[in-house]
Amino acid sequence: MARLVVVSNRVSSPKSGTRAGGLEVAVMASLKRNPGIWFGWSGKLSTNILATRTIEGDPVTFVLADLPKEAYDEFYYGFANRVLWPILHYRLDLAEFSRQDLSGYTQINDHFADELHEILQPDDVVWVHDYHFLLLAKALRERGHKNRIGFFLHTPFPPVEIITGLPHHERVISALGHYDLVGFQTETDATNLARYFESECRYPGDRKSGYDTGERIVQIGSFPVGVETDSFNKLARRAIKSSFVEGVLSSLSGRAMIIGVDRLDYSKGIQNRLEAFERFLETYPEWRDNVTYLQITPKSRSEIPEYMDMERNVSSTVGRVNGKYGEAAWTPIRYVNRAHTRTALAGLYRGARAALVTPLRDGMNLVAKEYVAAQDEENPGVLILSRFAGAAMECKPALLANPSDTDPVAAAIKGALTMPIEERRARHRALYDIIAKNDINDWPGRFLTALTGASTLDAQAGADPLPASKEAAALLERHPAIRAN
């Protein structure tokens, strides 16, 4: 295949000092098999000089751009995270639009297009990631580029009734028509864009054949992101023996541990989750002093007022629950605002009896899949998963719950802690089988094959792209409780 050029807001290069989280794993998986360029923001802000530098590597060359502070603030803290982020997560009520922020968003997309214009070759394949660059393909087309350009949205994509609440949606969302392929985490998200193209853009076509914009046929597909299943399991097996993880587990004094790992973001449902755990302690008093909930929540976007308010509310709730139920020798909730290494998290996942992964809305949520991958198959923990996470489309053997309803989540916690070992093993084997079939190392190939035209998207339109194996299906059949979930 021709050279692959990946574009994202943040770049995890050896010298950039930044990490892109789940995006990092996904992008590196694509570039391992398709050597090329990873282009994005350097993590540095400038006053008036826009510097771009190159870090040569094998198989990845990093091209990093400094950005002007004022425009970046409008682009990132303004339009991207105070308008697009809430609306994409179905929260029109939290969106705060300003024309100045949209101007900054457009300016940064144009700047990225200018920089790419200097390095793109005619046969390069361009893969753009996430909501920061909805306008990038349009800007590249305006500069004369006819390359195959694909876009993948890592967040949810809401229905027409919500996305049209975005000011200037006809300018911003319609720009997706300049990509050759637009990919999503779930079939629901893909269908929502298809409805937008049909009702708002009036493009002729359908999900199977694509949509004719007059300049190109735009394909839409669902490509759920996975994790490095087997390698993460091996990492967890080693990590649980580390002094750090052994120290954490020893400090529990034999109590069961529930774990939650999320950025501090309103889409993650952390406040609701804490209230559900409080309800669990109230409803099932026999579990007091017998279970500890560890919530690891690195802060994010702390400059945005909504996030400041959320931090205060979450901290207040943790204090109230610990004050109400805690004892001198037991703290019900351990709340940590520091990031932990991937190795440390793998060990903690393996040592946790249950994981609370209950976002109010999430594109995928790889914590859910990493938790499953980390488990000891002989004594696995139980995944409690929000119905509104993209991962729920695949991970049906988990305990699925509505994160906004505290009683069912509290009951799910009780169910996870008391679940018989045979059922825990059955659920885990079914889940592991599912996520192994969608390993991250296979994910880039599915997207890039569709983008370069080597195959059609028939399998992506309206079908379950990741059916469980016969073994997993048999497990589900033997355990009706799993199917009923």
Q: Which sequence positions are flagged as catalytic?
A: 154, 362
Distance, in Å, from the CA atom of 373 to the CA atom of 234, rounded to the nearest integer, reads 9
Tokens 């309103």 correspond to 266
125 backbone dihedrals φ, ψ, rounded to 5°:
-105, 125
| Cβ within 8 Å of residue 333, ≥6 positions away | 274, 277, 292, 293, 295, 318, 321, 322
Three-state secondary-structure class, residue 214? coil
Distance, in Å, from the CA atom of 15 to the CA atom of 468, rounded to the nearest integer, reads 41
Whether the Cβ atoms of residue 4 and residue 37 lie closer than 8 Å to each other = yes
Nearest to 11 by CA among 47, 70, 52, 50: 52
Distance, in Å, from the CA atom of 18 to the CA atom of 319, rounded to the nearest integer, reads 32
Distance, in Å, from the CA atom of 372 to the CA atom of 381, rounded to the nearest integer, reads 8
Structure tokens at 93: 């009520």
Nearest to 410 by CA among 283, 271, 259, 256: 283
Structure tokens at 194: 């298809």
Structure tokens at 164: 């049209």
Single-letter amino acid, residue 96: E
